[in-house]
Structures are given as structure tokens and as C-alpha cells.
Amino acid sequence: MATRSKSSQRWLKEHFSDPFVKKAQAEGMRSRAAYKLEELVARDRLLKPGMTVVDLGAAPGGWSQWVRQEMDRMDASRPGRVIALDILDMPPLAGVEFLQGDFREDEVLAGLEASLNGQPVDLVLSDMAPNKSGVDAVDMPRAMYLSELAMDFADRHLKVGGDFLIKLFHGVGFDEYVRELRRRYDKVVIRKPEASRKRSPEVYALARGRRAAMK
């Protein structure tokens, strides 16, 4: 049996001692990422009953699971829709529509658009991230490409006044991306939720109030 490296041993030790991992296990949540979203939604009151929410990069389903539970808690008579998409498979979640495919492919994007059937989206969530190579010069362009695709999707399908929450990574292209968000939305803020590990370069950009026309 191969022995684990010291770095992987450290990661495992940190992971299983993480309070958000323990909380997710205790509460039956699919991932600790649910608590990032919980903090962001609570702070900015992003959810309302009856909304249509699209969750990009959804697997293993922590965000979709939390959104579905929260919307049912607010008003089960107005369930709205939660549509999740990921290149990876995701075990079913009651009340969540899942589409598997690569968001970079036109056919997959067309399938997601078809499922909306012209219905405007109230909230677009994107927790997408590329597989990391460990080389910033490779990883950052991949991450920014996914972010650009998510913004394009929001441009086409988010209703006027709707909100867009996306994970970004500090690095080349970050500032320009945020400037583009500010052209499209009334208010843009950068958040670092408590459940986001401090050493991680990830942050979340919350863009509120999509404008009818860009500035």
C-alpha cells in the first residue's frame, strides 16, 4: 500500500477536524460549501419563495440542497425551481432538476436553456472551478473562462433586477471581471465567507440588480 505524503496527511487532518465538515456530516448536508452559501444568502437576503435558481457547478449538491431546503422552509406552497448543472454526476435531490454536462459545450448550454423554456431566472449561482494543475498560468485562464461563460449565461437569462453570485479567484483577470460586473449590475460586492478557508484565493462576487442595459 502506498504511503500518503505529508501534505496529503496534513490535508486529511485539517479536513476532518474542520468544524464545517463536522457540521455538514451532522446535519446531512452534502458538502461544507453549503455554509458558505448560507452565510452569503443570510447576509444579503438573496432568496424569496417561488424563485427560479440556477446552480452552475453544482456537484456534489451542497448549494442546491441548501437552496431547496431553504425555499421550502420559507413557503412550501411556492416551491419555485432549482436547476443544477455539473460535468460530474450528482445523486438526485428531491425538488432539484439536474443536468449533467460540460458547461463549456454549446449542446449542454442549449439543454440548460431548453429546460428554462423562456422562463427568466431570478438568481444565478456559480461555484464552478476547473481541475487544478497547480500552475497559476494554466489554472487562472481556465477559471476565468468558466467565469466568463457564467456571466454570459446570466446576461442572457437573468431577469432585470436579478442577482448573480459567483466564485472567483484572485489573479490575472480578476479586476477586469469585477469591472465588467459593475457595468451590468447596480451593486457589486466581494465577500469571503467564514467557511471559505483562509489560505484559499477564492472569494465570492455578489452582483445585485441586473440592469436592462450595460453602462
The distance of Cα 137 from the centroid of its chain, to the nearest Å, equals: 23
Q: Residues 145, 37, 58, CA angle at the centre, nearest 5°?
A: 50
Contact call for residues 86 and 127 (beta carbons, < 8 A)? no
Return binding residues for S-adenosyl-L-methionine: 61, 63, 86, 102, 127
Catalytic-role residue among 13, 167, 192, 215: 167
DSSP helix/strand/coil, 129: coil
Q: How far apart are CA 86 and CA 60, in angstroms?
A: 9
Is 187 annotated in the active site?
A: no
Would you give the end-to-end CA distance of the chain in angstroms? 59
Q: What is the DSSP code (8-state) at residue 130?
A: P
Task: State the catalytic residues.
Answer: 167
